[in-house]
Structure 1
Amino acid sequence: MNNTDALREENTLKLLFTYSLPMIIGLFVGASYNIIDRAFIGHGVGDIGIAGIAISFPVMMMGIMAFANLIGTGATALTSIRLGENNNNEAERVMGNALTLLILVSVGFIVLFWIFLDPILAAFGANEEILPHAVDYTRIILLASIFMIVGSGMNNFIRADGNPKKSMFTLLIGSILNVILAPIFIFGFDWGMKGAGLATGISQLISFIWVMSHFFTGKSVLKIGLKNMRLSGHLVGRIFALGGGSFITQMATSVMMIVMNNVMLNHGGSTAIAGMNVVNAVQTFIMLPIWGISLGIQPIIGYNFGAGNYKRVKSILVSAMVLSTVIAVVASLFIYFIPGSLVAIFNQNEELIQFGSHAMVIFLFFTPLLGLQIVGAGFFQALGKAKQSIFLSLIRQVLILIPLMLILPPFLGLKGVLISGPISDFCSAAISVTFVVFSLKQMQKEMIQEQDPGSRTKSADFHESNT
């Protein structure tokens, strides 16, 4: 039994842990690396170095990861479905198109930002003091961005190929190597911001080599071929449509943070901004394992959906929603009972602790429901249902949270920002569950129709219309 056969035959609960746990570990390691890397820069370069990273991060890393996920997750969803249909040739064609897109996006990204880097960084808040440090770091990251975008995007196919642990090692290799190289370059060679950028660039190059080598081994089901890299308009459209949810989520997070910071500044000042940033950091930490579950189940669901194993699709989805909800409930106990202690991890200022703990309890009140929306959006992406995936990715932040943060504060002040969180979480979870239940009922009708070919219902086109 090869790795993809396990997707069809292995116990679904075991598959859930096999695919989700490596993603969760990788995400946590990546998040920890970001914190450690900033600590090195803070000690080696100073506050001005941290400010330079803060300016560069939204411009470079969010853009890099957003485009990598746009192409990588969209193409992987389609690839998993084709593998489930035993259509390996078409699966490799999808992957080949994705590789071409990743390369083209990388080159375009490098050229555009290289030419307009200074004004872009200035537009994101770099003053004359910060700009040189931000430029030193960002130019090196730019040169390495092709390895980041292609490596990160193609790493999704390692999971689709039935190798979740190897996909996890991609994240571990880059993070651990960066942590080793950064202090050597920053402190040992006294290269400052350039050293930090070089450490990241080298780490991503090694990760890229690790990822690409997978597809040239005899153990890989998916192979890279030049003939498959010729772009197909139909496939490109499907890839962008299916990856749109992941792309929108990352872009929406950036927009939400900008809106929230401005609203908090107008109604509460710097303490309010700091407090809500702590709240968002805690929420992000809680969401990491849920994101890991959502990403982990996608190759399993996509493969079994393509194979017509709808009972397994339902089983893995229900297990994922239950597990993500349990994680969120446990995390909520800390939010409800010791919010002050969580805020104190970030800062000991009494005023900040008081506001942050109050804000955390209110804004994150419906944290137990987070998994329903996140896993729900991932479920539809895995099915190849682009419209539903994009809509569910939009509702929480773009359609509900951001409008509420703009509408409520003029009437309710800071309280308006705080209550916008639970309102958006509850509404988005309710809508997601409604979509999921309807989709599962459609699958049930499809199963009945397949058992009785003489009966024809609308659900008979359920599979074909979404792949």
Structure 2
Amino acid sequence: MENRKNDFTKGSVARNIINLAIPMTLAQLINVLYNIVDRIFIGRIDNGATLAMSGLGLSLPLITIIIAFANLFGMGGAPLCSIARGKGNDQEAEEIMGNSFALMIIFGILLTIIGLLFKKPLLFMFGASEATFPYADAYISIYLLGSLFVMIGLGMNSFINSQGFAKIGMMTVLLGAITNIVLDPIFIFTFQMGVRGAALATVISQFISAVWILLFLTGKNTILKLRIQRMKLKLDYVKQIVSLGMSGFVMAITNSLVAIVCNASLQSYGGDIYVAAMTVINSIREVVSMPSSGLTNASQPVLGYNYGAQAYERVLKGIKFMTLVCVAYTFVMWLIITLFPSFFIHIFNNEPHLIEVAIPSLKVYFFGFFMMAFQFAGQSVAVALGKSKQAVFFSLLRKVFIVVPLTLLLPKLFGLGITGIFLAEPISNFIGGGACYLTMWLTIGRDLKKKALLQKEKAVL
């Protein structure tokens, strides 16, 4: 039957996750190219490349806020759809998706208006100088006009992946990324538009991705259809979506907060060159963390579906598999980055002074990178199974209660200075990642084990 298509209670749990993870990880890696390709090309502008890179870095908190709202409604609604499908209730799943889409449209418009009205004071609050503000302003002004496309492109793609159509989800970002890669050099160099060209290429790319998503979700090949009659907001669904999506929202918002505090501190202690260096380091982190993020995100539909179907033993197997692979991958990447830091930095910038300050900073920032995998895994389990409060708490713990205070405090201690700012991230990974994963096993894991044991006992009787 159609409503049993992509049934994740069948076959190997690990294989189900991998089947989703490969295209979803590729999709996320490609999705990162939207901003990463911009930074690569901007880093090669003949005059003012470092200032342009700093300006782009200052725009990232605003971009992250837009992404946060896409996560709020996309990552909030998609797991609920998986759980509803696992229960066999496709109508409820469609209503959840329709409500999520309506919320994305409303907030996409609001964010565009608010962002354009307050961009100047916000950029200076984020650490802009008179030299870097023109670049930041030029980029974000155009990017904000495409906020609605970003919301649809990022948020609604979660509903394609949650139904098991990971290859279609990959095509969503592939179309946009290819467009971005082609248009970037044309707009930046051929038309000599600089950072404005990078922003315009990104907006056009996101528009194409959004159109592709809407065509699929209203077409005949999807399981759950996006229907106008399902878009009428219902308070109960809105509460559930926002509650569960709050984890992804808080994670993105706190990332924005950390970027603001970090850029301001770097501007104070080291100036524009260190803001540019952090932009490069964050770009490297986005790329190398994507496979781990892709695997944990791919596990959510599988874990949620099996949880809805009361297949608790399969949920436990999925958690263990996801954790093992994520930790192994991030450990290997930590070693590679530590041994070959200049290789990664050269991808984004060739200026000798920036490379000189970025290499030691990169090594400090990525120390113990494998601990981040425990944060990804613990929060993904909580989101997949609808445990929103736990996911939100650990998002806040790592970023707001650990990274932000350490970023402000460490530079003043033991003569650490700039090094203290970069040291805040690895310390938070060890404390926050360890606490998040351990708590997940002691609460959610213990509950799953009890339920699985009861099922075995009933089966024997």
TM over 0.5: yes
Task: Write out per-residue CA displacement over residues 202-241 of structure 1, whole angstroms, 9 at most, x where no aligned residue.
Answer: 2222211110111222221101223321111121111111
Letter in 2 for 1:15: N
> Superposition pairs for residues 118-197 of structure 1, below 5 Å?
118-121=120-123, 123-124=125-126, 137-189=139-191, 195-197=197-199
Helix, strand or coil at the partner of 1:331: helix
Q: Tell me: CA distance 1:371–1:38, structure 2 relative to 1, closer, same or farther (3 Å).
A: closer
Which amino acid in 2 is paired with 1:13?
A
By how many angstroms is 1:381 displaced?
0.5
2:286 to 271, 275, 284: 284
Given that 2:371 and 2:430 are in contact with CA atoms closer than 8 Å, whether structure 1 keeps it comes out as: yes
1:339–1:360 CA contact under 8 A, matched in 2: yes
Change in 2 beyond 3 A, CA 1:416/1:146: closer
Query: Which segment is superposed worse, 165-174 or 405-414?
Result: 405-414
User: Secondary structure in 2 aligned to 1:230?
Assistant: coil
Can you list the C-alpha shifts for 1:33-88, whole angstroms capped at 9, x where unaligned? 433334545667953765654444432x2222111111100111111111111111
CA separation of 1:139/1:411 partners in 2, compared to 1, >3 Å: closer, same or farther? closer
- Counterpart of 1:425, as a letter, is N
- Note the C-alpha offset of 1:452: 6.4
Secondary structure, in 3 states, of the residue corresponding to 1:328? helix
Match of 2:447 among 426, 442, 449: 442
Once the two structures are TM-superposed, the CA of residue 397 in structure 1 deviates from its matched residue by 1.9
Partner residue of 1:426?
430
Q: 1:401 to 1:452 in 2, by over 3 A?
A: same
Q: Distance in 2 between matches of 1:40 and 1:352?
A: 16
Indicate the SS of the match to 2:221.
coil
Question: Aligned partners of 2:246 and 2:47: how far apart in 1?
Answer: 38
Q: Distance in 2 between matches of 1:138 and 1:84?
A: 41
Distance 2:88 2:316 in 1: 21
Matched, 1:222 2:227: no
Contact 1:110/1:145, CA 8 A, preserved across alignment? yes
Q: Deviations over 1:332-363 (max 9, x none)?
A: 22244444555566667777666654444444
Distance 1:305 1:282 in 2: 35
**Bigger Cα displacement from structure 2, 40-49 vs 21-30:** 40-49
Cα distance change of structure 1 residues 58 and 212 upon mapping to structure 2, 3 Å threshold: same
Equivalent pair of 1:359/1:418 in contact (CA under 8 Å)? yes
Instruction: Provide the C-alpha distance between the structure 2 equivalents of 1:355 and 1:133, rounded to a whole number of angstroms.
Output: 22
Q: Structure 1 CA distance, aligned partners of 2:198 and 2:427?
A: 41
- C-alpha change, 1:187 and 1:265, in structure 2 (3 Å) is closer
Contact 1:151–1:212 under 8 Å retained in 2: no
2:318 aligns to what?
Answer: 316
Range that drifts further, 315-324 or 14-23:
14-23
Specify the alignment match of 2:246 in structure 1. Answer: 244
Is it true that 1:58 corresponds to 2:61 in the alignment?
yes
Q: What amino acid sits opposite 2:385 in the alignment?
A: L
The farther-off stretch of 277-286 and 319-328 is: 277-286
Alpha-carbon distance change, 435 to 125 in structure 1, aligned in 2, over 3 angstroms: closer
After superposing the two structures, state which structure 1 stretch, 327-336 or 155-164, moved more. Answer: 327-336
CA contact (8 A) 1:94 1:235 kept: yes
How much is the aligned-residue C-alpha RMSD, in angstroms? 3.1
| Alignment of structure 1 residues 1-400 onto 2, 5 Å | 4-41=5-42, 46-47=47-48, 53-59=56-62, 61-121=63-123, 123-124=125-126, 137-189=139-191, 195-267=197-269, 278-339=280-341, 342-343=344-345, 356-400=358-402
Distance 2:354 2:196 in 1: 34
Q: Is the 8 A contact 1:76 1:157 kept in 2?
A: yes
CA contact (8 A) 1:293 1:375 kept: no
Q: Is the 8 A contact 2:153 2:210 kept in 1?
A: yes
Indicate how the Cα distance of structure 1 residues 150 and 187 shifts in structure 2: closer, same or farther if over 3 A, else same: same
Give, in whole Å, the separation in 2 of the partners of 1:71 and 1:132. 32
Instruction: Tell me whether 195-204 or 88-97 shows the greater mean CA deviation.
Output: 195-204
Instruction: Point out where structure 1 has 5 or more consecutive residues left out of the alignment.
Output: 454-467
Distance 1:228 1:306, change over 3 A: same
Distance (whole Å) between structure 2 residues aligned to residue 256 and residue 324 of structure 1? 24
- Percent identity over the alignment? 33
**C-alpha distance in 2, partners of 1:354/1:193?**
25
| Structure-1 separation of matches of 2:372 and 2:8 | 26
The amino acid across from 2:206 in the alignment is Q
Counterpart position of 1:459: none
Relative to structure 1, the CA distance from residue 346 to residue 170 in structure 2 (aligned partners, 3 Å threshold; closer, same or farther) is closer
Distance 2:342 2:130 in 1: 37
Letter in 2 for 1:26: A
The verdict on how the C-alpha distance between 1:185 and 1:368 changes in structure 2, with shifts beyond 3 A counting, is: closer
Provide the secondary structure at the position in 1 that maps to 2:177.
helix
C-alpha distance in 2, partners of 1:348/1:216? 46
Change (3 A) 1:425 1:83: same
Preserved contact between residue 340 and residue 357 of structure 1 (Cα < 8 Å): yes
Cα 1:417/1:300, change in 2 over 3 Å: same
In 1, Cα distance between the equivalents of 2:381 and 2:183? Answer: 38
SS of the residue aligned with 1:289? helix
Aligned mates of 1:365, 1:379 — CA distance in 2:
25
DSSP-derived class of the 2:164 partner: coil
CA contact (8 A) 2:81 2:93 kept: yes
TM-score, normalised relative to structure 1: 0.86
Deviation (angstroms), 1:179 = 1.9
In structure 2, relative to structure 1, the CA distance for the partners of 1:178 and 1:259 (3 Å cut) is same
- Of 214-223 and 27-36, the range deviating more from structure 2: 27-36
Please, what TM-score do these two structures have when normalized by structure 2?
Answer: 0.87
Question: Structure 1 residues 398, 193: closer, same or farther in 2, change over 3 A?
Answer: closer
In structure 2, the gaps of 5 or more residues are none
